[in-house]
Amino acid sequence: MKTLVIQTAFLGDLLLTLPLVKALKLQDEDGEVQLLIRAGYSEVLQNNPDLSDVLELDKGIGKGMTTSSAVAEIKRRKFDRAIIPHRSLRSALIAYLANIPERIGFFSAPGYILYTESVEYPPTGHQILRMLVLAKEKGTDIERFPITVFPDDNNFDKADDVISGIIVGRAENIAAIAPGSVWPTKRWPVEYFAELGNYLIRERDFHLILTGSKDDRDICFEIGEQLPSSGWAITAGEFSIMDTAAVFARSSFVVANDSAAGHLASAVNTPVLTIYGPTVPSFGFYPIGKDNIIAEYRHLYCRPCSKHGPRKCPEEHFKCMLELIPDYVISLMDPLLEGT
């Protein structure tokens, strides 16, 4: 069987879709599984043994196929079925207009009427398990289908070059910090990240890599201005997604906001401490991993205030982050720091 999985949302959503891809491949090892994704993320799928090919859709960056050209290309490839975890009208339309005979998605999606089979979106549980329902994998153990990415030698060479440049006569403990988020209220304050960074460098003899996209570069520099003059480096805006994955793979642990960075760390089996503000882990999008840690200011009356995190705090106090002080976060880190 030839299957197209359509997931054109953001990086975190794509990473959370990889277990679904793995499940579909295991169900039909002789079949093909291909992915239609948002343009700009294809590198995260490099060397993935579960995928036969990747198609990229332009969603505003001037790269990838237009919707009409994607429909034409998908129609040419003659897929037997489309699995559509992305609850989007455009995703449903693409599968429908490409004449894919079997189209499976969630009943709660705007384009469900275009599906040949609609599945109820589970209201609880982890997002990985929710999407696995589309592959008829109900009640499965989430550890059967891990998120996995595959940095190559070039990615590791770049990571090792940066690490070797900051290790001078010190222990070789590496920690990565990913302080960014698309949503401003999901960002732990810069001064808090700086206090954590100073503790790790001065008190625990760690070296730090400040990571992220080009949009996170200014935040990383603000943190760096408050750190010692050596023992850290910034890769935000300079490293690709898979270069960053290689940095995470070389790190003892990662500290990140509720963002794709946590899932990327888990995808290379590196423990992650995730900082939650306006969102909550019960939404089902937390990084999977046995040594992962969640930091949050619990029992705040206004949490959660939105699905993604608003641009500004609706209550104008931002307590979910401001009250989540560095001393408390550091106290949660003992399991990550043991033996380092």
Asked if residue 295 lies in contact with residue 216, where contact means CB atoms within 8 angstroms, the answer is no
Angle at CA 172, nearest 5°, toward 170 and 174?
120
Residues 110 and 208 occupy one common structural domain: no
pLDDT given at position 169: 56
pLDDT given at position 230: 92
Domain limits for position 120: 2-135
pLDDT given at position 148: 97
pLDDT given at position 142: 87
Residue 75 main-chain phi, psi, to 5 deg: -60, -40
Reported as type and span, the H/E element at residue 4 is strand 2-7
Asked if residue 119 lies in contact with residue 87, where contact means CB atoms within 8 angstroms, the answer is no
User: What letter represents residue 15's amino acid?
Assistant: L
Going by DSSP bridges, is the β-strand pair 293-296/81-84 parallel, antiparallel, or unpaired?
unpaired
CATH code of residue 298? 3.40.50.2000
User: What letter represents residue 256's amino acid?
Assistant: A
Strands of the sheet containing 117-119, edge to edge, are 53-57, 32-38, 2-7, 81-84, 102-106, 117-119
Number of domains making up the chain: 2
pLDDT given at position 275: 98
pLDDT given at position 300: 96
- 141 within a domain of the structure (yes/no): no
CA atoms within 13 A on the CB side of 13: 16
Residues 224 and 300 occupy one common structural domain: yes
Residues 212 and 264 occupy one common structural domain: yes
pLDDT per position as a tens digit, 246-302: 999 999 999 999 999 999 999 999 999 999 999 999 999 999 998 999 999 998 999
Domain boundary among 105, 135, 165: 135
Residues 127 and 177 occupy one common structural domain: no
Total-model pTM: 0.95
Residues 87 and 129 occupy one common structural domain: yes
Provide the 3-class DSSP secondary structure of residue 33.
Answer: strand
Other CB atoms within 10 A of residue 186 CB: 22
Residues 120 and 205 occupy one common structural domain: no
Instruction: Say which DSSP state 45 is in.
Output: G
CA atoms within 13 A on the CB side of 309: 21
**CA–CA separation, 323 and 155 (whole Å):** 37
**CA–CA separation, 129 and 172 (whole Å):** 37
- 147 within a domain of the structure (yes/no): no
**CA–CA separation, 308 and 278 (whole Å):** 8
pLDDT per position as a tens digit, 213-232: 999 999 999 999 999 999 99
pLDDT 10s digit of each residue in the chain, 340 long?
999 999 999 999 999 999 999 999 999 999 999 999 999 999 999 999 999 999 999 998 889 999 999 999 999 999 999 999 999 999 999 999 999 999 999 999 999 999 999 999 999 999 999 999 999 987 778 888 999 999 999 999 999 999 999 886 555 799 999 999 999 999 999 999 999 999 999 999 999 999 999 999 999 999 999 999 999 999 999 999 999 999 999 999 999 999 999 999 999 999 999 999 999 999 999 999 989 999 999 989 999 998 888 999 999 999 999 999 999 999 999 888 876 6
β-partners of residue 14 are: none
Residues 174 and 286 occupy one common structural domain: yes
* Tokens 């641009």 belong to residue: 311
- 143 within a domain of the structure (yes/no): no
Residues 93 and 169 occupy one common structural domain: no
pLDDT given at position 282: 95
Residues 121 and 175 occupy one common structural domain: no
- CB neighbour class for 23 (10 Å; exposed up to 12, middle 13-18, buried from 19): buried
Residues 35 and 73 occupy one common structural domain: yes
